[in-house]
Amino acid sequence: MKRNPYWKDRLTRWQLWVYLAPGGSRSAFYTERVDCAQPVGALTPQINDEAVVTDQLVAQLPDDLRRAVKAVYLDLMRTRAEIARRLHITKETLHNHLCYADCRLETLLEQRQQPAPTSIALESASMTFPGRIVRTQHATFMAQALTITED
């Protein structure tokens, strides 16, 4: 099984964000530079936004996949063989967990990006009960809301 290159790169950017973002949750041990200069390739707002979403998606992974992803990307002091031993799995199983995590992350991202139900879908659902769907605009939030009214 082969890793998805998109998710491999995206998780690497997430790794950088975890360690380099201001107020990040990791130790400065990994981010300090001898010359005290800003890290090479400072994080852009786009990478920051992507990393926040990636962090949320990783948190939704099943336990075994989440542990594998976090161990590989956030434990920089260990080799893959050491990580596999620590997780009580083989190196091949660790690789497979990363491949499955790539697939699961893709699915979670697609689910997150699906649009809300449209009025067409709601109108077809209204066939099961009396009433009609009326589209109104809520001025405070500048968004459209659907309400159901009785005839």
83-92: per-residue pLDDT in tens? 999 999 999 9
* CB 94, CB 86: distance < 8 Å: no
Which H/E stretch holds residue 135? strand 132-138
Dihedral sign, CA of 31, 36, 42, 48? positive
pLDDT-derived band at 15, boundaries 50, 70, 90: very high
Q: Please say if the pLDDT value at position 29 is more than 50.
A: no
Angle, CA of 113, 103 and 24, to the nearest 5°: 70
| Residues 6 or more apart whose Cβ sits within 8 Å of residue 117 | none
In which residue are the tokens 């009609």 written?
132
